[in-house]
A and B are shown apart, each in its own frame.
Chain A
Amino acid sequence: MVVESGEGVSVVSARVDAALPGGVIVPRDEAELAGVVRDASAPMLVQGNGTKAGMLRPGRAAAVLSTAGMSGITLYSPSELVMRARAGTALAEIEAALAAHGQQMIAEPSHLFGEAQTIGGVVAANVSGPRRISGGAMRDHVLGLRAVNGSGEILNFGGRVLKNVTGLDLTKLLTGSFGTLAVITEVTFKVLPVAGAVGTIVVRVADAQAAVAVMSAGLGSPFSVSGAAYLPGSREVYLRVEDFAESVAYRCGRLAGQFAGAEILGSGESKALWLSIRDCEALPPGEAMWRVSVRPSAGPGVLRDVAFAGVTGFLDWGGGLVWLSGPATHEAHEAVCAAARTGGGVWWLMRGPEALRAVVEVMPPEAPALAALRRQVVAKFDPRGIFNPLKMWAA
């Protein structure tokens, strides 16, 4: 079905339902999208394929503005370690194109949200996987963005080169802003070669505390550990090394020598293991899911402090990232918030029923001074308040 936009530009609509009288508007290109924004008179939910619609607060809007119609890799220069793709390009397509040249996304974004997620969504949500601790987050690799602000202006920040400090870094501001400031239309990001080999040290430990000690020792070693996770179910710590095969063999040997009873997994097993950690496969199914980021030594405390509310999970990022799932109750949510606060860190409600997401703090509230600045920043990007209102904060 085709929905007519204000200026008569025909745009493709994927689906229309009663909750979205404005339909799902799927512009075919950036200019069209800018036109839709200029003509918009009511708030819109900004998304790619909507795979993260259940993350943070539920959107309330008459229409969905989707970038799914703007797809395709527009630049890939393997020798310069750079790729550019339109926002609606599926992550799977990007990963396949990179793999064909022996390269990969550095932050190894999770596939937790399914195979349909777009690169725009990955950037807008700053999704990073286990390699975040060594290679950086998604936000660290976004070199440039094109976006349409709330006035319908097309903006281009950053570029395609690996280093760039020209002007204020609005690329970083937009990355992780969940479509609340501008609609990202194209992303340029840094990539790296896939390592020749992967190895994993498996260490069995008594508890999370001991696990963090092992992970800290691994990350505090000279052996470039690129992943450090702990699964309470198996009471196993995993330390990952990625490099040329000879290096991996050497470093795994040195690391394993540090911990009694450590085992070494080869490349094949390692790759499968880290994909499952990346995609949170070890997380028990629950009505709600959270992500907590604390300093690594505080990770075990978070696991301990939420247990009474039926919330369980595992540690990634050397203990600093706690993935949690549990009942979608206020009690469980408050337990997560309190544990994150105690650990001096932050939380995100990643998944849960609308009823819960609509009323709780899905992220820690900002200090008043920062909240005041944030409201003004939003107003400067989106003066009419049409992009994803209330997605991140209730006010």
Chain B
Amino acid sequence: MRAMKQLDPKPEVMARRSEIIAGLRRILPERAVIAQAVELKPYETDALTAYRQVPLAVVLPEDEAQVVDVLKFCAAGGVRVIPRGAGTSLCGGALPLADSVVVGLMRMNRILEINYADRYAVVQPGVTNIGITQAVADAGYFYAPDPSSQLACMIGGNVGMNSGGAHCLKYGVTANNLLGLRLVTVAGEVLEIGGAHCDAAGYDWLGLITGSEGQLGILTEVTVRILHAPEGARAMLAGFASNEVAGECVAAIIASGIIPVALEFMDKPAIHACEAFAHAGYPLDAQALLIIEVEGSQDEQADMLGRLREICERFAPVSMRVAQTEAESAAIWKGRKGAFGAVGRISPDYLCMDGVIPTSRLGEVLRRIEEMSAAYDLRVANIFHAGDGNLHPLIMYDANDPASFAKAERFGAEILTLCVEAGGCLTGEHGVGVEKRELMRVQFSESELTQMRAMKDVFDPQWLLNPAKVFPL
């Protein structure tokens, strides 16, 4: 089914397959090298199952020294390497190549240090996003970026993709919440970037590496900022009669000077799918729903919610409800965070787009997507971070029907092109991966791409690390 062109395997690597596997077994412990065909199969894809390729081998290192050894070994043999965390990428970020060794970092899942006085934590890449918050929650702290897959996705992948989340309207994305990294280059050199302090001297390597999608090295340690949690938080739901009206309400909220901690948008199909999963009391009669969250003491919450209600009321909401308990708030977020999976209830497959648009174009872009949906005869559920214009149209299709997938791919490309034309970009938090690779030319000129490729050349002259991603072939 894969329509996407892929790099040809290197014949000299494929010919040395058993030698490479034997070599990996020599440098890694027992059960850390997977090479049986049956066992490689589940590693052929991530959360974008439309693209699949069984790798040559999978290795599961347990520490930095093993990562160094694997990279030195692979670099010496010209073997391509695919870093992998939890395998939750929606853009095929962990898609293997036939001649590649997948380096799974799931076993490097220890929290190495927590420092409350200086407000940071040092963790290995295989720690889940929510695992950091859980480790510091008893002391009242949390790690701010919260991608919807935070239960499962790992911090290594978060750094690789510069993940965002529902609450980054207030707290920023991954890049804004990092202090330091340890990165193993393809040559097996360990680079220490930043530390436990703000603003490293010299170039912003931290900024360059964050979001580099495994192109520059493999992370072995991440130092994140942790923040003290507010006194409390409460979500409200506001249902509207159309996507456009909800979009106008979003613009009005931002223009009023209130920056809620989260401002999330769901359209009707999404509302229904999520309600079936979370039973959060989403308004089933609304065409569009905003989830708005505020923080602070009870009085502060009430004050902010009062201001927000006033704004929402100007847009004739069909329903408005404030969560009365922690459990109600939790259910509201459970539905939102499980939204992509919940769409699995109404469609066997979906492609999840991640384009960003200026928020002033929200209504217009949603209308265009609706028109495209009719033209392609494919349903779309829209679930997205409205406060920052980060759209997640989920294009529903049937993977058992090749024509349906081809249509879905074209539809997706058309949406993303529209986002760029509207002044936005291809991806706000999921990354380019393999999925949007060929669309990069829509957003960047050849000299811009050349400048980016030049950075890859510096860190990985043989282009062994996660090749055939990010840059158009």
> Which residues of A come within 8 Å of B, CB atoms?
77-82, 102, 126, 128, 132-133, 136-137, 139-140, 149, 153-157, 159-173, 175-177, 181, 192-193, 196, 216, 219-222, 224, 244, 246-247, 250, 293-298, 317, 320-321, 344-348, 363-364, 366-367, 369-370, 373-374, 376-377, 380-381, 392-393
Contact = CB atoms under 8 A, between A and B. Distances in A.
Contacts of B118: 216, 295-297, 320
B74 to A, nearest CB: 18
Given A163-B168, A169-B162, A380-B455, A155 B388 contact: no
Contacts of B251: 79
B299 interface: yes
Given A219-B119, A317-B198, 17 more contacts: A80-B358, A161-B357, A161-B424, A162-B390, A163-B173, A163-B356, A165-B432, A167-B449, A167-B470, A172-B204, A181-B203, A247-B303, A295-B196, A297-B118, A345-B195, A363-B201, A369-B185
* 4 nearest CB pairs, A to B: A172-B207, A163-B428, A380-B454, A193-B257
Interface in B368-393: 385, 387-390
Contacts, number: 249
Interface in B197-220: 197-208, 210-212, 215
B200 to A, nearest CB: 6
Interface residues on B, range: 35 or more
Contacts of B359: 79-80
A166 B425 CA distance: 7
B452 A369 contact: no
Given A295-B118, A317-B198, A369-B185, A168 B470 contact: yes
A319 B387 CA distance: 33
A169 B207 contact: yes
A161 B455 contact: no
A70 to B, nearest CB: 20
Nearest to B300: A247
Contacts of A163: 164, 168, 173, 356, 385, 388-390, 428-429
Nearest to A103: B257
Interface centre among A164, A321, A345, A377 (most CB of B within 10 A): A164
Contact of B427 (A157, A160, A166, A377): A166
A373 B425 contact: no
Contact of A139 (B207, B358, B444): B207
Contact of A161 (B173, B425, B448, B456): B425
Interface string B416-441: 00000001111111111000100010
Interface string B336-365: 000000000000000000001111100000
B57 interface: no
Contacts of B215: 168
A177 B203 contact: yes
Contact of A222 (B229, B357, B457): B229
B303 A167 contact: no
Contacts of A81: 254
B203 A220 contact: no
Nearest to A157: B448
A77 B360 contact: yes
Nearest to A321: B198
Contacts of A346: 195, 197, 199-201
Given A79-B360, A156-B445, A295-B196, A246 B211 contact: no
Contact of A293 (B116, B199, B208, B257): B199
Contacts of A250: 297, 299-300
A14 to B, nearest CB: 29
B208 A172 contact: yes
B441 to A, nearest CB: 11
Contacts of B120: 295
Nearest to B193: A370
B51 interface: no
Contact of A136 (B176, B202, B447): B176
B203 A374 contact: yes
Nearest to B388: A162
B358 A297 contact: no
B458 A155 contact: no
Nearest to A160: B423
A164 B299 CA distance: 35
Given A161-B389, A161-B423, A220-B228, A364 B201 contact: yes
Nearest to B448: A155
Contacts of B151: none
B37 interface: no
B192 A192 contact: no
A370 B203 CA distance: 10
Interface centre among B189, B356, B423, B451 (most CB of A within 10 A): B451
A153 B454 CA distance: 14
B360 A369 contact: no
Contacts of A173: 203-204, 207-208, 455
B140 interface: yes
Contact of B197 (A162, A224, A295, A377): A295
Interface centre among A169, A193, A393 (most CB of B within 10 A): A169
B327 interface: no
Contact of A170 (B202, B205, B296, B451): B451
B255 interface: yes
Given A165-B428, A165-B430, A381-B451, A172 B175 contact: yes
B13 interface: no
A369 B254 contact: no
B76 interface: no
B191 interface: yes
B77 interface: no
B208 A244 contact: no
A168 B356 contact: no
Contacts of B444: 156, 166-167
A221 to B, nearest CB: 6
A164 B356 contact: yes
B315 interface: no
A78 B255 contact: yes
Interface centre among B161, B204, B210, B448 (most CB of A within 10 A): B204
Nearest to A136: B176
Given A156-B448, A167-B452, A193-B259, A77 B204 contact: no
B3 interface: no
16 contacts: A155-B445, A157-B448, A161-B356, A163-B173, A165-B173, A165-B430, A175-B204, A346-B200, A364-B202, A366-B202, A367-B191, A370-B191, A373-B191, A374-B202, A376-B458, A380-B458
Interface in B21-70: none
Contact of B388 (A161, A193, A369): A161
